[in-house]
Amino acid sequence: MFNEFLSASHNIENLLLSPFEKTLNKTLNKIDSQVINEKEIAFNLKKVDGALSKLAQHQPLKTLINFIINLINNSQSQRKALTDELTHTYAEVKLLRTQLSESREQAAIDSLTGLLNRRGCQSKLQEFNINQTHSTIAIDIDHFKQINDSFGHAVGDKVIQLIANIIKQSISADDIAARLGGEEFIVVMHNKSIKIAENIAEKIRTSVEKLKLIQKQTNTYLPKISVSLGIAELDEEENWDSLFEKADKAMYQAKELGRNRCVISQTSCLV
């Protein structure tokens, strides 16, 4: 349904709204140009009319000029009403395009953290050249259920937000950071080796480890927060799913080894 929505909204924008907006814009420009020409003609006619007013023998010509001036004035009034209506329609089309764009963006963003969600991540990956060197980091918050059970979901959400901010601050604008759901995150390092990914993963881990959180209502310190991270590099002839699966397995190995650590996928090699 999500893909159908995205496809439909893109089709509406590309096949209907964009051409319609361009047509409206061209029409408004042509009307503006014609109005300018008519104003110049009316101005010149009024000058001639003024000159003819002094000459009685040219009364028939003066009558004709006044008739033309009245036609132009009526035409301009009608054209102004049309221009106002077209301008209003143009503004509505632009607003609809903006709303469609915002809807697509909202559909791809995790509302709690501001990171991409799973769908947004998949969409963003389409911009990456899969033949380049890419690495990924799978991240999971350790003992997160205990935090929710002991301090409530509001505190749990705050922990998720803090860790999401650490992730965002640790990566570059070219990289992808997404919340897959619950306490799980994924980072895709754009055109970066596994060595770079390992350094970033360790930076994230130590930053989370340094967090000291207190619940204000009870003045109670939360237990030490930590994350387990799995790191993998995209090998030749692999796809995104297999890359994420490698990182996920490495992350679970980190859990088994005691948590609060980074583990590199056994099928990936340090350069």
pLDDT digits (tens, 9 = 90+) for 109-153: 998 999 999 989 998 999 999 999 999 999 999 999 999 998 999
Is residue 41 domain-shared with residue 138, that is, in the same domain? no
* Among candidate residues 254, 200, 265, the one with its CA nearest the CA of residue 226: 254
- Would residue 271 count as lying in a domain? no
Given 108, 132, 152, the domain boundary residue is: 108
Q: Are strands 214-215 and 220-221 parallel, antiparallel or unpaired?
A: antiparallel
215 and 147 in a single domain? The answer is yes
Domain span at residue 176 reads: 118-264
> Cα separation of 9 and 106, whole Å?
13
- Rounded to the nearest angstrom, the gap between the alpha carbon of residue 199 and the centroid of all alpha carbons in its chain is 28
**Which of 108, 139, 161 is where one domain is finished?**
108
194 and 130 co-located in one domain: yes
Shared-domain flag, residues 190 and 244 = yes
> What is the rounded CA–CA span in Å between residue 37 and residue 41?
6
Please check whether residues 33 and 147 belong to one and the same domain.
no
Residues of the chain with pLDDT > 90, as a percent, come to 50
The angle at the Cα of 245, spanning 250 to 179, to the nearest 5 degrees, equals 90
> Would you call 183 a catalytic residue per the annotation?
yes
pLDDT tens per residue, range 8-34: 445 555 555 566 567 666 766 666 666
53 and 152 within one domain? no
Are 125 and 258 members of one domain?
Answer: yes
Question: What is the rounded CA–CA span in Å between residue 166 and residue 202?
Answer: 12
Q: 173 vs 56, 111, 170, CA distance in Å?
A: 79, 20, 10
Look at the chain and report how many structural domains it folds into. Answer: 2
Confidence of residue 3 (pLDDT cuts 50, 70, 90): very low
Residue at 188 is within a domain? yes
Cα–chain center distance at 38: 45
Give percent of the chain with pLDDT exceeding 70.
62
Is the pLDDT higher at 100 or at 172? 172
Task: Specify whether the CB–CB gap between 28 and 101 falls below 8 A.
Answer: no
Q: What is the C-alpha to C-alpha distance for residues 110 and 255, in angstroms, rounded to an integer?
A: 25
Those residues whose C-beta lies under 8 Å from the C-beta of residue 118, and which sit 6 or more positions away, are 178, 180, 181
Residues 136 and 101 in one domain: no
Instruction: Looking at the structure, tell me whether residues 235 and 141 fall in a common domain.
Output: yes
Higher-confidence residue: 182 or 83?
182
Residue among 183, 209, 236, 245 flagged as catalytic: 183
Q: How far apart (Å, rounded) are the C-alpha atoms in residues 198 and 260?
A: 14
Residue 33 amino acid letter:
S
Crossing angle of the two packed helices 194-209 and 153-170, in degrees rounded to 10: 140
List the single range of 147-151, 173-177, 225-229, 231-235 with lowest mean pLDDT.
Answer: 147-151
Residue 192 sits in the same domain as residue 104: no
Same domain, yes or no, for 8 and 123?
A: no
- Shared domain for 102 and 12, answered yes or no, is yes
Which of 80, 108, 136 represents a domain boundary (last residue)?
Answer: 108
